[in-house]
Structure 1
Amino acid sequence: MNPVTLPDAEWFDLAPEDRGADPHAPWRIFLARPQGEPPPGGFPVVTMLDANAGFSTFVEVMRRGAVRPQATGIAPSVIVGIGYPEGEDHRARRTFDYTAGPGAEGAGRDERATGGRDAFLAFIEHTLKPRIAREVPVDAANQTLFGHSLAGWFVLDAMARDPGSFRTHVAVSPSIWWDEARLVEGLERADGAGRRLAIMVGEWEQALSPWQAARPEAAEMAARRARRAMVDRARGFSDRVRTAWPGARVHFEVMPGEDHASILPAAMARALRFALAD
């Protein structure tokens, strides 16, 4: 059988020079180049976390939309995915990379290490961005960070504490419950003028969907979802950003019919339109 390939896309492993044999390096980087000539200021860049799970889908959504940008609001862009090499424990690494410390429900969930947030963001800023800029003409002032679930928490934390790292932040089903206090505190320390934030969450992320209500573990699922309050926390955080950063553009959306897993592909076109429309 012949494998299906993604045209104008590649992957490579990348680590900061000063990390050496650190077990938390390297990262697997996925890069999709847009077709055609770049605009005068370079292509916008959308950086996707958890890229092992959805990079190809994200690229195809962008390319399909970019065929008719006047209709879709999606312009050609560079898609950068950050993932992990094959054979590694992706859950353990993402828990470390995306968090500043233990979450509200225990120390690292299943004893997974936490606290790599600063090093991970430094890798993005000082190693990954310069590498991508050497590969393709990019607009350094028009960059978007996209993340789902715990990666969505990282997106919000990076926005709150390092708002200059990206112009646009898109958090899909963000795990705000992990450390909501830190996110709120971060908003009070920064000036969000000119920042752009989109938060999307599924209708069935806080309550059981009709197809889940009869499952044996339904009661446990319902209790966990009520405790995490994904929809209420996402809406509340969006409101906090509007209040704390009156100069920011904030979009919040509850997506009908979607749960924590199904929302990701459904949110991709909306995310790209928000990031690339203007």
Structure 2
Amino acid sequence: MLKFAAAALVVLLSASSSGNALTDGDKTPIDYLPALAGDYFKLDSESVGRPYHIFVRLPQGYEDNPSETYPVIYLLDGDSLFPMLAPTHLFLTYDEQLPEAIVVGIAYGGFGEVNKRSIDFRTFSGEKNGNPDGPDKFLKFLKHELLPKVSSQYRTDESKRILVGQSYGGFFVLWSALQDPDLFWARIASNTSFGDERERLFSESSKSENKAGLVAIAVGTQDTQARQDFVKEWSRVWGESENAPWIVKEFVMDGGIHAATIAETYRQTLKWIFQDNASESGSQGE
């Protein structure tokens, strides 16, 4: 079912492949779902050497407020997380008074062979042959290709960039926090999967210009014990470190499972990011 939903989103939005906001005459079926309405474009990455499908949910009232800028939230695994969390964000503005945001889903276009999340998020085998690793390439794609395109095309508040990842995506979120602390104002890592690469997430962090970042790391009590132990250790080590370039907060989701708890994790972590740290913003590096 999820595979069908992801494929359907690509088809429904294919008419808006230029990356420009749709006009009334260009409406596609997805535009009649207002919680998902926005934009879509395909981005062929020079850094990675593969294309990505980029889905953009624009805030309610975006066209009516041409001078307003918005936080921008980047979702890894956009194939599944975008159709789930983009509407969730709308509800959070209704019920929790969280600020509206531009939500960007980074998708592969399927769950089969085309999906290279395991390479992009946590495959480091390139070290053996001298080639850049998957996460290195993907980080360059974010920093030099996707983020500049989104910031030039939409009215983003560049001091409020957030990266969200689940499972392997959670690994990349934490790894990127060590590699480039200032690229995002806040990061959310949910139920991180790490395999043999666990120790990389305890390596030395790159220097930060502002040390004003935020990292929310979450795990469900029904996820594996290894993942629960990792979150406790990572939170403790970086929470106590004088060299940590961000503030760390651990979230334990009572009864939470590995994948399906992401919506509640998104809710709780964003409340902490926006309501408890509203005045904390750093300038991210380009």
Give the TM-score of the pair, scaled to structure 1. 0.76
Q: 1:135 aligns with which of 148, 153, 158?
A: 153
Q: 1:36 aligns with which of 61, 65, 85?
A: 61
Asked whether the 8 Å contact 2:166–2:259 carries over to 1, the reply is no
Q: 2:72 aligns with which of 19, 24, 45?
A: 45
Q: Which amino acid aligns with 1:11?
A: Y
CA distance in 1 between counterparts of 2:183 and 2:124 reads: 21
**What is residue 79 of structure 1 aligned with on the other side?**
103
**What is residue 188 of structure 2 aligned with on the other side?**
170
Identical residues among aligned pairs (%): 25
Q: Which amino acid aligns with 1:122?
A: K
Q: Which amino acid aligns with 2:184?
A: F
**What is residue 262 of structure 2 aligned with on the other side?**
264
Asked whether the 8 Å contact 2:52–2:109 carries over to 1, the reply is yes
Stretch deviating more after TM superposition (7-16 or 134-143): 7-16
Measured against aligned partners, the alpha-carbon deviations of 1:149-178 in whole angstroms (never above 9, x if no partner) come to 011000000001110111101000011444
Q: Which amino acid aligns with 1:59?
A: A
Could you say if the C-alpha distance between residues 139 and 6 of structure 1 is closer, same or farther in structure 2, counting changes exceeding 3 Å? same
**What is residue 238 of structure 2 aligned with on the other side?**
241
Pair 1:95-2:118 in alignment: yes
Asked whether the 8 Å contact 1:177–1:233 carries over to 2, the reply is no
Asked whether the 8 Å contact 2:44–2:50 carries over to 1, the reply is yes
Q: Which amino acid aligns with 1:123?
A: F
Asked whether the 8 Å contact 2:181–2:245 carries over to 1, the reply is no
CA distance in 2 between counterparts of 1:184 and 1:146 reads: 19
Asked whether the 8 Å contact 1:15–1:27 carries over to 2, the reply is yes
Pair 1:14-2:43 in alignment: yes
**What is residue 9 of structure 2 aligned with on the other side?**
none
Q: Which amino acid aligns with 2:177?
A: M
Could you say if the C-alpha distance between residues 89 and 256 of structure 1 is closer, same or farther in structure 2, counting changes exceeding 3 Å? same
Q: 1:121 aligns with which of 105, 116, 139?
A: 139
Could you say if the C-alpha distance between residues 206 and 9 of structure 1 is closer, same or farther in structure 2, counting changes exceeding 3 Å? same
CA distance in 2 between counterparts of 1:86 and 1:14 reads: 15
Asked whether the 8 Å contact 2:124–2:133 carries over to 1, the reply is yes
CA distance in 1 between counterparts of 2:124 and 2:84 reads: 31
CA distance in 1 between counterparts of 2:204 and 2:194 reads: 13
* CA shift for structure 1 position 266: 2.5
Measured against aligned partners, the alpha-carbon deviations of 1:51-74 in whole angstroms (never above 9, x if no partner) come to 101212211111111135xxx152
Q: Which has the higher contact order (CA 8 A, sep 6+)?
A: 1
Asked whether the 8 Å contact 1:170–1:197 carries over to 2, the reply is yes
Asked whether the 8 Å contact 2:79–2:110 carries over to 1, the reply is no
**CA RMSD across the alignment:** 2.7
Could you say if the C-alpha distance between residues 13 and 252 of structure 1 is closer, same or farther in structure 2, counting changes exceeding 3 Å? same
**What is residue 226 of structure 1 aligned with on the other side?**
none
* CA shift for structure 1 position 276: 3.1
**What is residue 146 of structure 1 aligned with on the other side?**
164
Q: Which amino acid aligns with 1:98?
A: F
Could you say if the C-alpha distance between residues 164 and 247 of structure 1 is closer, same or farther in structure 2, counting changes exceeding 3 Å? closer
Asked whether the 8 Å contact 1:117–1:154 carries over to 2, the reply is yes
Pair 1:25-2:43 in alignment: no
Q: Which amino acid aligns with 1:240?
A: V
CA distance in 2 between counterparts of 1:50 and 1:29 reads: 11
Please give the secondary structure, in 2, of the residue aligned with 1:198: strand
Measured against aligned partners, the alpha-carbon deviations of 1:173-209 in whole angstroms (never above 9, x if no partner) come to 011444122111133x4347211010110101125xx
Could you say if the C-alpha distance between residues 124 and 185 of structure 1 is closer, same or farther in structure 2, counting changes exceeding 3 Å? same
Q: 2:85 aligns with which of 48, 54, 58?
A: 58
* CA shift for structure 1 position 10: 2.6
Asked whether the 8 Å contact 1:171–1:198 carries over to 2, the reply is yes
Unmatched runs of 5 consecutive residues or more in structure 1: 108-113, 208-228
Question: Which segments of structure 1 move beyond 4 Å, counting only runs of 4 or more?
Answer: 2-5, 37-41
Measured against aligned partners, the alpha-carbon deviations of 1:209-259 in whole angstroms (never above 9, x if no partner) come to xxxxxxxxxxxxxxxxxxxx1001111101111122466322111111111
Q: Which amino acid aligns with 2:207?
A: A
Stretch deviating more after TM superposition (45-54 or 79-88): 79-88
* CA shift for structure 1 position 265: 2.4
